[in-house]
Amino acid sequence: MAENKGIIAWLSETAKTVFWALLIAGIFRTIFFQPFWIPSGSMKDTLLIGDFLFVNKMAYGYSYASCPSIRIPQVGIDIGAEDFCGFLEDREERIFGSDPERGDIVVFRHPVDGRDFIKRLIGVPGDRIQMIDGVLQINDVAVTIEDAGTFTEIMEPQGPLGLRPQCANGAVGLGAVCEKSRAIETLPNGVTHAILDIGPRATDNTGVFTVPEGQYFFMGDNRDNSTDSRIAQAARGVGFVERKDLVGRADRVIFSSAGRSMLAFWTWRSDRFFKALD
């Protein structure tokens, strides 16, 4: 009997410990920083597949999108921020809110399916955004672009999803060098960052996007391999993103692994640990 009471007491204490640990982790993730693992190459070479970072949730204040989401497709768990904090979804103002700046690397909720996306903020409310022959135009003025050589990587499956890169030098075989043109783009507020180009794509020439009030326009740095605001939501793109859908700002890579698992220590990119983002 005493043994059973001891087991029950142990189970009770363990349950309490787990509960408080999860509660503290949830509060930390909601208010301060959210971990984010880069799954695709849309932000190369600023962010690489396998980069791990913490998103600063204090940067823009709080909305329903600040609440955590839990998605584990292997076991059928799909709980979004709206499930936790849906009562805040229609609230236009953010708590302790501040506006993002052009050039920020921002994590936001996809306006349709609620997935977390990470892109660079290109257009703020009132801006006119257009692509002409692969060159970004902001308010009818082309941004400054300077050649920065060639970005190279090995053609091989990358990250847990096993994605293969797209190459400007054709359909190269496994183990061969995959190349992309690299340039430095300067935005009107002086923010500079690298962009990659693979070749002619439909999104190299677009109509004019006029960014509505309270919304933003995002693009990936890997311009020819990014599903972003250039593609309308109806066409399975991102379209304009509302202010309430912003999650936070990415400032620094904490850890990086080039392998299929972060446990494969021989694939760690030590030169990217604690790397500040431009």
Question: Quick check: is 229 catalytic?
Answer: no
Main-chain phi, psi angles of 40, to 5 degrees: -135, 175
% of the chain with per-residue pLDDT over 90: 65
| Active-site residue (options: 57, 119, 180, 244) | 119
Question: Of the given ranges (80-94, 100-114, 141-155), which has the lowest mean pLDDT?
Answer: 80-94
Give the position of tokens 């695709």. 40
Which residue ranges make up each domain of the chain?
1-31, 34-276
| Average pLDDT of the chain to the nearest whole number | 86
pLDDT for 65 equals 82
pLDDT for 15 equals 59
pLDDT at 197 over 70: yes
| 177: β partners | 154
pLDDT for 23 equals 45
Instruction: Give the C-alpha separation, 158 to 46, whole Å.
Output: 16
pLDDT tens per residue across span 126-137 = 999 999 999 999
| Alpha helix (H) residue ranges in the chain | 2-31, 81-85
3-class SS of residue 83: helix
* Residue scoring higher pLDDT (101 or 2): 101
Quickly state the pLDDT bin for 20 (edges 50, 70, 90): very low
pLDDT for 169 equals 94
- Which residues, 6 or more positions from 64, have their beta carbon under 8 angstroms from its beta carbon? 81, 82, 85, 86, 87, 88, 89, 91, 244
Residues in the chain: 278
pLDDT for 31 equals 55
| Active-site residue (options: 40, 42, 69, 229) | 42
* Residue scoring higher pLDDT (73 or 149): 149
pLDDT at 17 over 80: no
Q: What is the mean pLDDT of residues 214-234?
A: 95
Q: Can you read off the two tokens belonging to residue 195? A: 């962009």
Q: What is the mean pLDDT of residues 102-113?
A: 93
Quickly state the pLDDT bin for 114 (edges 50, 70, 90): confident
pLDDT at 69 over 90: no
* Homologous superfamily in CATH for domain 34-276: Umud Fragment, subunit A (2.10.109.10)
Region class of 207: left (phi > 0), else alpha (psi between -120 and 50), else beta: beta
pLDDT tens per residue across span 135-194 = 999 999 999 999 999 999 999 999 988 999 999 998 899 999 999 999 999 999 999 999
Q: Can you read off the two tokens belonging to residue 52? A: 């791990």
pLDDT at 206 over 90: yes
Q: Can you read off the two tokens belonging to residue 228? A: 């972003």
Question: Quick check: is 42 catalytic?
Answer: yes
